[in-house]
Structure 1
Amino acid sequence: PTPARAAVVLNDSEVTANLWEWNWNSVAAACTDHLGPAGYGAVQVAPPQESVKLPASADGAYPWYEVYQPVSYKLDSRFGNRQQFAAMVTACHNAGVRVYVDAVVNHMAGTNNPAGTRGYAGTEFSGYSYPAVPYGAGDFHRPGDNCPTGGAISDWNNEAQVTSCELLSLSDLYTEKEAVRNKIAGYLNDLIGLGVDGFRVDAVKHIRKDDFAAILGKLNNTVAEGRRPYVAQEIFDGASNPALQARAYIGNGDVLDFAYAKGIRSAFQGSISALANVPNWNLDAPSANVFAMVTNHDLERDGVVLSYKNGTDYVLANYFALAYPHGKPSVYDSFTWSNRNQSPPHDGTGRVTDTTCGAAWNCLSRTTGVKGMVGWANAARPVKTVSDFTTVNSNVIGFHRGDRAWIGVNDSGSATTATFVTGLADGRYCDVISGVATGSGCTGSTVTVAGGRATVTLPANDAVAIHVNARPGASPSPTATPTVSPTASPT
């Protein structure tokens, strides 16, 4: 029999902190010190398998995209080793936070890496030979096999090309083969066995839907909750072929919503009154099937969405995404960059150093306002609709989620005072953007609701947000204090 395992109560939240390319020790500390107490439901982490270690080049040494080129399924990477990964998962669970892994399963490393390139654990490989897995030449789609081109994708609306030819010269796994499916599922089940709760799956558009369904069917239930692992699929937008659009993939799990992120950028760089029309936007999939984001590592480098470089627009957009009932919201934190291929801060061998918030790393997820909005999102979660969306002017808005929570956003350079319908019971509430509720009052500003309305001064380029669980003298939200009780797990 397996030893008794501590049953961990995980936060009742759909909010994820995406700590992209943070090392495992830093993720563990973030879960313990910030994410768990703030009520985050999950943390998303970078690909943990051994990847190529690229030599210095015109891009600089150790570019970020190395980790999307696996050479084995060993959990020995630039973010840490297997023991550090397992300890991180345990620490996050003990803090009430699930762990979602960025899973790279469509392909292995590139076919054109410099001679002598090895993985971070020292593993040798070649374009179609990965002895550490093992994969051999017959485990890959090859030009002249069932890839109908010379290897590359030339028609991004041709499903056969997109699913069986090589994306960016990356060796494309022959996922129609049962042996290949078993090895991919074995890797994911190894992670599940260490406590991983779900996956953000890279490049799913490039795997046939039935192949991916077959792989998912081989996965075990999660250890902590005994559920099917959460799945958020990356389906890059832009295809006109309906079979290659995100909503065609929701039978296998949630999808990342690229259109939502781009629409948010358009509003915050234009007029946020446009946010009243989100229900009419042409989004990637219905809200129930979406992992929502303001940005991610690809998009911020392409300039098609907001990023930390956009200052208060970016911060306010994250408040909005946490408040608006579209999908399961996420907050993205990574390293600062000036070159799109830049490495995260590292120790000189490519291994990523501990996160120090400030110049080199963005830590929006732990700011007072974002933590406050995570609590707001958790309080509002039972109500899936927006009420009384109020446009004070083109860049000042407010709305509420039933009788649970209200927010006002001012994306302009001067303070604005207006009266809003809040939906909340009369009384005093703590603004969770500027502070927190304590046993004796509010550390930030206070909002008074009378007759269901509140007259609020929204500071320039800022927001005010209140909810039922943040009132002067109220005890902290129960999601902030997960409990642990020992139970025996089934063998």
Structure 2
Amino acid sequence: MRLLLALTIAVSLHNHVTGHESRTHGDPNCVPGSNVILDFFGWEYEHIAAECEHLGGQSGVCAIQISPPSEHMYAPGAISDTTWYQRWRVVSFSLENTDAGSAFQFNLMIQTCNANNIQVFADVELNHMTNEDEGNTLGSAGNSFNSVTKEYPGKIYYFFPRSDGCMTESNNIEDFGLPAQIRGCRLPHVHSGEFVHDLKTESLEVQTKLVEYLNRLVTEFGISGFRIAHARNIPPHDIEAIINRLVNINGQVPFVYYEVLDFSENYEYSIIRNHEYSPHGRIEEIRAGERLTEMFRGTNNRSLANLEDWDLDLEGPIESVFFIDDPYTVRDVHNRGINAVSSHRNRREYEALNALLLAIPNTGVTRILSSYTWPQLIVEGKDINAELPPPMNPPNLLPGGEGCDPGEYGLTCEHRWTSMRNMFVFNGLDNILLTNMTNFWSNGLQMAAFGRGNLAFVAINNGDNTMDERLQTGLPAGVYCDLMTGPGVECGEGSRTLEVDEEGFAEVVIEASDDHPIIVVRVHFTPH
């Protein structure tokens, strides 16, 4: 595992900077006790505001992430009139209306979240506008645009080719193994293969337009950070020129993190590397979710026995945002395999993996997806229903706040699961962040356990047999309530317990068929 110093630095960066001291774009400025970003993908603004009120303070949640708030196109010819990716097809930088709501609802949502000590980070598209062949039509805010003539509200933008060169006759990406094409040519559409109008981000005029948009989100609306979508398609020096012009308010600059897709293996996307973008903020460490999924499943020559070295060759905690899945991996946009990464469709596995990600050391800032489900239709290994848009209806909340009842097509509310809520708080505790993995044990296959000093203990079984082991926990003697099944202090009906003796040992039993294959306990835990 990485040295404890790395975590000490990470905590110092995002939990203990106060006053008007200078902060970097890699500092999420979380309030003490919070490290989690919730990605409310597919949620409407008014429902996000309600969730921020429900979460309130001391929830372990640092921020929520929203999809691009700018005016977008609709998707004629898709399965429905709208689609999941339309927010990344920019018509203008107007905030008047998107499929998530109006500018008024957008503003109210941010105010509500901020009032509850939860920041709002906006996903933003700086690489391109709409598809090339939408013709003369209207955007979500009612503005007219013509993608054929490249006329968009406010001005005609500067497009490709960039001076540093696409060098293909079509001006389209033809070889994903060449960085010059990835950054200098037009990007193909997620599903249809049609190409988008990429912006000439080397142009000072285009940079200024983008900077004005980002700074308006900060100064007028209270956005605290940005996820830069398709950052890998923008040259790092253009990114740096834009980010360096972001507004600085009393020494605080917006948090920035980048979509790079560095899988670091023989894979076409990995020609663009994380380290090219991490100096300007953080990167999304997309390998984390796939690696932990493989360890849990025992695939690709990985197993839970390797858990001590799970982060080997990954970017460090102060350079990364870690996550299990995102809207792209759930839809296999990167062609890794439709189930290559766990998702909400297998709650047992998915719940365990998110808990594991929040329990192991060296994860720094962690993002959790709380999105929606849809009826899958698998044809030749692909889900042809994957482009279905978010369901525009309020969450069907279950009694007691334990998630939602999404039915076949609805919001899934993963962030409301008891285990998730408990683990958000667990992960944000400073003394947990400052502990390494201790007392590691494994049966060499799919059973493992470890402590976090004398503060916490974790055991996991995804094998074919019952795990029944007497293990050293490192904890003081006592009876502990499992955070996966109970509220954390007084174990409720159906909650598991772990009894630790005077020597710190406990009899750990996890049946192979248990709904919760992971146990997490912590001393003096107060649930949210």
Say yes or no: TM over 0.5. Answer: yes
| In structure 2, distance between residues paired with 1:324 and 1:192 | 33
For 2:144, the equivalent position in structure 1 comes to 124
SS at match of 1:308: coil
The C-alpha deviation readout for 1:389-415, integer Å capped at 9, x for no partner, is 221462222112223322112224665
CA change 1:90–1:279 in 2 (3 A) is same
Deviation at 1:247, TM superposition (A): 2.4
Deviation at 1:345, TM superposition (A): 1.0
| In structure 2, distance between residues paired with 1:312 and 1:361 | 18
Deviation at 1:155, TM superposition (A): 2.0
Deviation at 1:244, TM superposition (A): 1.6
Match of 1:273 among 304, 324, 333: 304
For 2:371, the equivalent position in structure 1 comes to 334
The C-alpha deviation readout for 1:189-244, integer Å capped at 9, x for no partner, is 11112111111110001111111111111112368xx5221111000235679872
SS at match of 1:53: coil
For 1:355, the equivalent position in structure 2 comes to 395
| In structure 1, distance between residues paired with 2:115 and 2:56 | 11
For 1:365, the equivalent position in structure 2 comes to 415
Deviation at 1:422, TM superposition (A): 2.1
1:426–1:449 contact (8 Å) kept in structure 2 = yes
For 1:483, the equivalent position in structure 2 comes to none
The letter for the 2-side match of 1:215 is: I
Match of 1:400 among 430, 434, 451: 451
For 1:422, the equivalent position in structure 2 comes to 473
| In structure 2, distance between residues paired with 1:16 and 1:234 | 15
The letter for the 2-side match of 1:340 is: A
1:14–1:328 contact (8 Å) kept in structure 2 = yes
Deviation at 1:63, TM superposition (A): 0.9
Deviation at 1:426, TM superposition (A): 3.0
For 1:78, the equivalent position in structure 2 comes to 99
TM-score (norm 1): 0.85
For 2:130, the equivalent position in structure 1 comes to 109
The letter for the 2-side match of 1:206 is: N
Deviation at 1:9, TM superposition (A): 8.9
Deviation at 1:67, TM superposition (A): 0.7
Deviation at 1:464, TM superposition (A): 1.6
CA change 1:392–1:136 in 2 (3 A) is same
For 1:485, the equivalent position in structure 2 comes to none
Structure 1 position 389 matched with structure 2 position 440: yes
Match of 1:189 among 215, 221, 224: 215
SS at match of 1:189: helix
CA change 1:286–1:34 in 2 (3 A) is same
The letter for the 1-side match of 2:450 is: F
SS at match of 1:136: coil
| In structure 1, distance between residues paired with 2:386 and 2:307 | 33
Question: Which deviates further from its counterpart, 33-42 or 139-148?
Answer: 139-148
CA change 1:129–1:355 in 2 (3 A) is farther
1:185–1:219 contact (8 Å) kept in structure 2 = yes
CA change 1:171–1:267 in 2 (3 A) is same
Structure 1 position 319 matched with structure 2 position 355: yes
For 1:297, the equivalent position in structure 2 comes to 327
Structure 1 position 174 matched with structure 2 position 200: yes
2:459–2:519 contact (8 Å) kept in structure 1 = yes
1:53–1:117 contact (8 Å) kept in structure 2 = no
1:292–1:327 contact (8 Å) kept in structure 2 = yes
CA change 1:145–1:163 in 2 (3 A) is closer
- Percent identity over the alignment is 26
For 1:41, the equivalent position in structure 2 comes to 62
| Aligned positions of 1:181-330 closer than 5 A | 181-193=207-219, 194-221=221-248, 227-237=252-262, 244-270=272-298, 272-279=303-310, 281-283=312-314, 285-302=315-332, 303=338, 304-325=340-361, 326-330=363-367
| In structure 2, distance between residues paired with 1:9 and 1:235 | 23
CA change 1:277–1:11 in 2 (3 A) is closer
1:10–1:96 contact (8 Å) kept in structure 2 = yes
CA change 1:106–1:386 in 2 (3 A) is same
Match of 2:522 among 467, 471, 475: 467
For 1:488, the equivalent position in structure 2 comes to none
Question: Which deviates further from its counterpart, 419-428 or 363-372?
Answer: 419-428
The C-alpha deviation readout for 1:306-363, integer Å capped at 9, x for no partner, is 11122311111111111122342121111112211111113xxxxxx32332221211
Structure 1 position 87 matched with structure 2 position 102: no
For 2:482, the equivalent position in structure 1 comes to 431
| In structure 2, distance between residues paired with 1:280 and 1:91 | 36
SS at match of 2:211: helix
| In structure 1, distance between residues paired with 2:32 and 2:118 | 6
Deviation at 1:125, TM superposition (A): 1.3
CA change 1:232–1:412 in 2 (3 A) is same
Question: Which deviates further from its counterpart, 461-470 or 255-264?
Answer: 461-470
Structure 1 position 69 matched with structure 2 position 89: yes
The letter for the 2-side match of 1:273 is: L
| In structure 2, distance between residues paired with 1:416 and 1:34 | 35
Match of 1:21 among 31, 42, 57: 42
The letter for the 2-side match of 1:171 is: H
Gaps of 5+ in 1: 1-7, 347-352, 471-475, 481-491
1:429–1:448 contact (8 Å) kept in structure 2 = yes
CA change 1:378–1:412 in 2 (3 A) is same
| In structure 2, distance between residues paired with 1:136 and 1:306 | 42
1:11–1:40 contact (8 Å) kept in structure 2 = no
For 1:442, the equivalent position in structure 2 comes to 491
Deviation at 1:419, TM superposition (A): 2.4
The C-alpha deviation readout for 1:12-32, integer Å capped at 9, x for no partner, is 321111111211111111111
CA change 1:222–1:92 in 2 (3 A) is farther
TM-score (norm 2): 0.79
The root-mean-square deviation of aligned C-alpha atoms, in Å, is: 2.6
Deviation at 1:280, TM superposition (A): 6.2
2:262–2:270 contact (8 Å) kept in structure 1 = no
CA change 1:143–1:372 in 2 (3 A) is closer
For 2:509, the equivalent position in structure 1 comes to 457
The C-alpha deviation readout for 1:101-128, integer Å capped at 9, x for no partner, is 1111111111122x34321111111226
For 2:160, the equivalent position in structure 1 comes to 141
1:322–1:330 contact (8 Å) kept in structure 2 = no
CA change 1:192–1:381 in 2 (3 A) is farther
| In structure 2, distance between residues paired with 1:70 and 1:330 | 25
Deviation at 1:287, TM superposition (A): 3.0
Give the paired residue count. 451
CA change 1:252–1:381 in 2 (3 A) is farther
| In structure 2, distance between residues paired with 1:35 and 1:389 | 35
| In structure 1, distance between residues paired with 2:33 and 2:445 | 35
Deviation at 1:281, TM superposition (A): 4.0
